[in-house]
Structure 1
Amino acid sequence: MNPALERFLFQNYKWATHLGWLLADLMPPIVRFAAFAILMKRFGRGSAVGYGTRINYLRKVSVGRFTGFGDQCLVLNSHYIEGIGLSIGDRCEISPRVSFIMAGHDTSKPDLPHTGGRIVLEEECWVGAGATIVAEGRTVTIGRGAIVAAGSVVTKDVEPMVVVGGVPARKIRDRTPGDSPNRSGPGQMP
């Protein structure tokens, strides 16, 4: 890439990102799907990203099939750190205003170096509205079929088939296989 163009893009990244998301919010759903399928690491069939959602560094995000992001979600990555990112399995539900934070700073050091981690949501998870999942310096995995209650802050792994909630999130109860939503009924995703 031309060094002058590269410098211009780096210096104007935030402006360009906001402009890009503004344009994405004006696109009809079929065009949005095509754009995300091209720009993300993986964007599965039948998935959707709600309006007002902001994702830094789309190439560090992988979304499975039939997964939905609610409106106004936030995904914070960093291009400075290798190996960080967000991986979401098939048939997950991400409610509105959920935040995934994978980048930050090491506050134990005076120069505040960048730190980061990975967030992995296994299949059939549900993250309630306004929840925050933080993975600075480690990988945080939300197990298959787990539910994160609205407004919770998750900083550690969540076992499969449990409900967690609170700040910080703690196990509320186990789920039974019968708790799983029926995704093959009328109006449900296959």
Structure 2
Amino acid sequence: MSGARFAIEVRERYGDVVRDRWPVSIDPQPDELLSSWLHRLAIANGIAPRPFASVLELGDGMWSPRLDLRLPREVATLLTGRTDVPHETISAMAMTGPALTPLLLPLRENVRRNRSTWMQYCPQCLADDEVPYFRRPWRLATRISCFVHGRGLRDRCPACRSGIASFDQT
């Protein structure tokens, strides 16, 4: 097919087109963890979770699980403005508060096989979800089983023994 011509046109930059709102806003699920919602929000808008940190004007590293522990006001305001999710709903997804701090699984950048990771999950809950998401209670060190399915919570892949891949930001 020689001589075929393709029409090429210069398009606007993403930031010039989407000024006030992100193209896709997703509602948080019941008892969803903030970091889980942020990952789903990033993917829904076509951005991988790791570079989504720059959209939120955050640094590298484990940015989303750190937001679970301390949600800066400017980040909450940005999320509310870009998604139409109320500020109170966004704040309620975080695990902030001095009463919760001693109960949370510790954040670990380098997870050894003999130490727990910072997140647990129920594989049956994730399999049953229409939209899989991570629950707030799964961040608690005091929670060792799923109250819905009566199964032990996992903190890593049973096959390869590595931490949860969807939240691996390194």
When normalised by structure 2's length, the TM-score is 0.28
Query: Greater CA radius of gyration, 1 or 2?
Result: 2
Which structure ranks higher in relative contact order (CA pairs < 8 Å, sequence separation ≥ 6)? 2
Higher share in helix: 2
When normalised by structure 1's length, the TM-score is 0.26
Higher share in strand: 1
